[in-house]
Amino acid sequence: GNYLDTDKICFERNKSGIWGWRQDKTENVNGYECKVFGANNVELVSMTRSEHLPRGERRPEPRAPLAGLLAIADRDHDDPPTTPTETQEDSPRSSRSKESKEELELEPVTWEQYFSESPLERDIGRPKEIATKVQKFKATLWLCEDYPLELQEQIMPILDLMAAISSPHFAKLKDFVQMQLPAGFPVKIEIPLFHVLNARITFGNIFATDTPVQHIECIQEGDRLSCVVDDACFAIGRGYRAAGGADARVCADDEEGLLQYAIQQSLMEAGTHDDQVDVWEALRGARPSTPQPRR
């Protein structure tokens, strides 16, 4: 899996000017005065498990020919390879101990161990073999405190929802935005992809304030801006059709039939257990079949 490690990220104001007369850097982005911050120690962590693969098929991912020149700084964390010196020093006794250790780790977990109150000190299945790759980079953010969008109002509800129903990494991202991110909305973000290539994201024409947008109406509510999106924006275009529409109707019919079955079962006048109907009888609206006497 991949995730952004936010524990080590730190922000500092970028400076402008010459030595001795340096001051906090500010820039104008799309008509808004923004403070420029640098985000250091941004780490993208990629973790790959390989214990399910045979030894002969575990090959490291090939690097591009120019990866050493262009790729961002990264570190590979994996089991250190055995050096020739270490291989020569391995004795039959040490190899037997390694084999016994592997056999012990591959022993199945008993029911008593699985349901015991004490925590299990080893993996339930095969021992995990995880290769971790860390890519470090530095990002630049242009933050504006009087921007029409606000993280707390527009972005945080989305993070709250994703943190509740999705990966715990969204919960960490939510805490990071609340606790560590400086005040203001990131109007522009710049992230290095390679040493000579950067990705830049800029927000502009929010609520169609700069250029009119069809079906978007900007509303001024005191000091606050908002917009109304016309329903025409969500209309299905010509040539499109609902994929799986028939299957969805069949599923809805089945659910309705099961609901009717449950209602019929609860309202049955007969009091014996043998008078119950099966699902298909309920779907057809059939009366309970008379139970056959046991032979």
Q: What ranges do the domains of the chain cover?
A: 1-79+102-141+185-203, 148-183, 205-234, 263-295
Checking if the pLDDT of 78 tops 60, the result is no
What is the Cα–Cα distance from 116 to 131, expressed in whole angstroms? 31
193: Cβ contacts below 8 Å, ≥ 6 apart = 72, 199
DSSP letters for 75-103: EEE-PPPPPHHHHHH--HHHHHHHHHHHH
Average pLDDT, the chain: 73
Residue 279: predicted pLDDT: 52
What is the Cα–Cα distance from 49 to 129, expressed in whole angstroms? 6
Residue 49: closest CA among 163, 107, 125, 135: 125
Checking if the pLDDT of 141 tops 80, the result is yes
**Band (238; pLDDT cuts 50, 70, 90):** confident
Residue 143: closest CA among 224, 226, 27: 27
Q: Check residues 243 and 214 and name the one with the higher pLDDT.
A: 214
pTM of the model: 0.56
What is the Cα–Cα distance from 151 to 177, expressed in whole angstroms? 8
Structure tokens at 252: 């809805």
Residue 89: predicted pLDDT: 38
What is the Cα–Cα distance from 281 to 41, expressed in whole angstroms? 65
Residue 25: predicted pLDDT: 92
Rg (CA), the chain: 31
Question: Terminal CA-to-CA distance of the chain, rounded, Å?
Answer: 61
pLDDT tens, position by position, 102-137: 555 567 778 888 888 888 777 777 778 888 888 888
pLDDT mean over 13-22: 85
What is the Cα–Cα distance from 261 to 251, expressed in whole angstroms? 15
For tokens 């020739």, name the residue: 84
pLDDT mean over 172-196: 81
